[in-house]
Structures are given as C-alpha cells and as structure tokens.
Copies of this chain bind each other. A is one copy, B any other.
C-alpha cells in the first residue's frame, strides 16, 4: 500500500463492443428504454462511443457501447466477463415483455441453481448475456 491519501474513485461506466450500433440501440434504447446521454463519433479512429443510462440513473454508472465501423468479425466473449444485470419489479412480466419484443431468451425465470433468488437471462444483439432479477427483499 502507500502513505498517499486515496483519491475519490467512482464507477463511471462499463464498456462493451458491438458490431452494429443501430442494432445494439434497438435493444438498449428502444426495448429496454435507456437514454443515449452522450455519443461521440471519432472519424480519425473510425469508431463511435455511445453512452446510455436509464432514467433516474443518468448521473450514475453508464453503459458504453463501442462500435468500430470497420469490424466485420464477431467479438470473442471469453469467460472473464460474466454479464450485465438489470433489476426489474416483476421478473416474469419483464421476461414476457422481452419475449414479445423478440429478444432471445437464454434462460427463462428460474430459481438460482445454488441459491433461492429467481433470475432469468436474455441475449442482446451481440450475444452479450443480460441477467434479469427482482430487487432483494429484506436485509
């Protein structure tokens, strides 16, 4: 460690790469309802960064979608990164809504394999895993 005073860190955003920004916005903006709070096109680097947040979370942690204009190959997901998780008041209702929007359901609502919470998983347009869960009750 160090004798230096710890700076004040805050979680600003999480960045994932997408192959088609319009297609990705079709999920995060149009279906989930996130707002694009900032979007920058970098002509020189031929990429666009789009920052999204939900209403009420706009000064909080954002989701950054990076779209490299010339990328043709799918991205490799690896297994280091797990998922984004969304909290919803009603899990079954939310999964119904997503299914009605033709979002691909990876795991319908079920009890966690080794726990008691109900969770579900869907895939975004780039096969990024998105968990759905209800708020924790109690402590």
Residues of chain A touching chain B, judged by Cβ–Cβ distance below 8 Å, are 1-2, 4-17, 30-34, 38, 40, 42-45, 47, 53-54, 56-57, 60-61, 63-64, 66, 75-90, 93-94, 96-97, 100-101, 113-115, 126, 128, 131, 133, 136
Contacts and interface: CB of A to CB of B under 8 A. Distances in A.
Contacts of A16: 80-82
A14 B136 CA distance: 16
A113 B114 CA distance: 45
B8 A89 contact: yes
Given A60-B57, A60-B60, A9 B88 contact: yes
Given A1-B30, A1-B101, A12 B86 contact: yes
A114 B45 CA distance: 6
Given A17-B82, A80-B81, A44 B114 contact: yes
